[in-house]
Amino acid sequence: MLNVLEPRHPQPSVATTLEITDITADVRHLQGFDHHEQVWLGRDTARGLTAIVSVHTTVLGPALGGTRIWPHTSFESGIIDALRLSRGMTFKSAIAGLPLGGGKAVIIADAKTEKTPAMLEAYAEMLNTLQGQYITAEDVGMTLADADFLAERAPNVSGTTKGGSGNPSPFTAEGTFVGLKAALRHRTGSDDLAGVRVAVQGLGSVGWSLCQKLHTEGAVLTVCDLDAVRTARAAETFGATVVSGDAIIAAGVDIFAPCALGGILSADTIPLLKAKIVAGAANNQLATAEDGQRLVTRGILYAPDYVINAGGVINVAAEMGDGGYDVATVTPRVARIADTLSAIFQRADSEGRTTDAVAEAMAREIVEAARK
Ligand SMILES: NC(=O)c1ccc[n+]([C@@H]2O[C@H](COP(=O)([O-])OP(=O)(O)OC[C@H]3O[C@@H](n4cnc5c(N)ncnc54)[C@H](O)[C@@H]3O)[C@@H](O)[C@H]2O)c1
């Protein structure tokens, strides 16, 4: 069970090289800031840690969201990433009906070369200091083993193997799969995937599992990844066509499933899309709010990212259920992602709004109702 304590001001209790600063007031001008409750910077030069922990809201419950380890090229882009991701977590949990707020952390580092035990030790110290205000889990660059390592040293680490809910990715992939089918059904009247052409960008934990499900139901796959071993394996396992880099965006397919990083749908890329549906797991797919309208103008149905990719957080939230984690409670909730998306698609059609505007309005209505 998670140990959710009362919020308090961060004050490391032991002599340490870690410095934690409340930077909420300093980041108000940045893109993605949306009345965030609190944002902290944790710095430990000796142990190679630069971490931003962003709490968007705690109105519905404690702020939960994974820690992303990514080599952002600037400090500012790391903060913007944390701001946008934590806001997305608020919307995600609200729409999924979970008693959780939105939080997210970004550690600015290359997970392949700069993630060291010392760095994770320093991060665990930061989590200890912020206890009660932020609950972490896996994200890009942070593995299950890392979550276990942190959980041995800090409270409020979810998605661990020891007494936790384990890897969230299979649940995210399942939710994305049923959500993709709901989008296909809305667009064509059928969710039969046989012969449907799907482009999957990113063959990591979620993308690979999604490909397995799509392949099993007869979809024809086009894939790309920065890792040539993964693409070669996809060609062999699924008979997938491999394309490189940005070619995936312009692939001649019916559905585009972004499962790598965010910002993939922009003024530059949307004109290139041939797919008539975008349904994938990546967070923050729209580079800007205007890109939702750009998709509509091109006649492309967009499954809002934080709705379709909620399977992982639904699984993690089950750790907080009475009696602890029980996978039997998770499966039906993940399946409901399809119904939620269908309702959003219908509301967007009837109100003449974009699907992301409808989803955001739904989430904000839920948060505001709880605030009152
Ligand atoms: N894992 C989850 O449960 C979960 C939950 C919700 C959202 N998401 C989101 O889904 C996405 C994928 O998550 P994951 O856990 O599979 O991550 P992962 O790190 O396991 O895999 C990401 C894959 O994308 C590839 N990639 C990165 N940049 C690329 C690019 N420009 N072109 C092609 N490939 C690229 C990487 O090489 C890697 O194989 C992320 O945006 C993540 O935030 C994941």
> pLDDT digits over 179-213, tens only?
999 999 999 999 999 999 999 999 999 999 999 99
Cα(172) to centroid(ligand 1), Å: 11
Residue 285 pLDDT greater than 50, yes or no: yes
| ipTM for the whole predicted complex goes beyond 0.95 | yes
CA of 339 to the centre of ligand 1 (A): 25
Percent of the chain clearing pLDDT 90 (strictly above) = 85
| pLDDT at residue 35 greater than cutoff 50 | yes
Q: Is 7 a residue whose pLDDT tops 60?
A: no
3-state secondary structure of 7: coil
CATH class, range 19-88+98-151 = alpha beta
Atom of ligand 1 nearest to the CA of 227: 37
CATH architecture of 169-310+337-368: 3-Layer(aba) Sandwich (3.40)
How far does the centroid of ligand 1 lie from the alpha carbon of residue 225, in Å? 10
Q: What is the pLDDT of residue 155?
A: 87
**Burial of 236 per CB tally in 10 Å (0-12, 13-18, 19+):** exposed
Task: Identify the band that residue 1 occupies on the pLDDT scale cut at 50, 70 and 90.
Answer: very low
Angle, vertex CA 316, rays to CA 36 and CA 216, nearest 5: 115
Rounded distance between C-alpha atoms, residue 128 and residue 109, angstroms: 21
Atom 39 (ligand 1) nearest CA? 204
Asked if residue 110 lies in contact with residue 68, where contact means CB atoms within 8 angstroms, the answer is: no
For residue 367, which of 90, 45, 172 has the smallest C-alpha distance? Answer: 90
Which residue ranges make up the annotated binding site for NAD(+)? 202-207
Which residue from 227, 197, 235, 228 is spatially nearest to 214, judged by alpha carbons? 197
Q: Which residues line ligand 1 (CB under 6 A)?
A: 139-140, 168-169, 172, 201-207, 224-227, 230, 259-261, 281-283, 309, 312
Mean pLDDT of 95-122: 96
Q: Which residue has the higher pLDDT, 131 or 138?
A: 138
From the CA of 207, give the closest atom in ligand 1.
16
Question: Considering only CA atoms, which residue is closest to atom 33 of ligand 1?
Answer: 225
Residues contributing to the annotated binding site: 202-207
Per-residue model confidence as pLDDT tens digits over 97-109: 999 999 999 999 9
User: Domain ranges in the chain?
Assistant: 19-88+98-151, 169-310+337-368
**Token reading at 194:** 């046989």
Residue 191: half-sphere exposure toward Cβ, Cα within 13 Å:
12
Q: Quick one: which atom of ligand 1 is closest to the CA of 261?
A: 41
- CA 171 to ligand 1 center in whole angstroms: 14
Q: Is the dihedral of CA 10, 11, 17, 21 positive or negative?
A: positive
For atom 15 of ligand 1, the residue with the nearest CA is 205
156, 4 in Cβ contact below 8 A?
yes
In this chain, the answer to whether the domains covering 19-88+98-151 and 169-310+337-368 adopt an identical fold is yes
Q: How far is the CA of 369 from the centre of ligand 1 (A)?
A: 33
Q: Which of 261, 308, 330, when mutated, tests ligand 1's pocket best, judged by the most ligand atoms within 8 Å of its CB? A: 261
Percent of the chain with pLDDT over 70: 96
Nearest Cα to Cα of residue 239 among 280, 274, 198:
198
Distance CA 199, CA 246 (A): 12
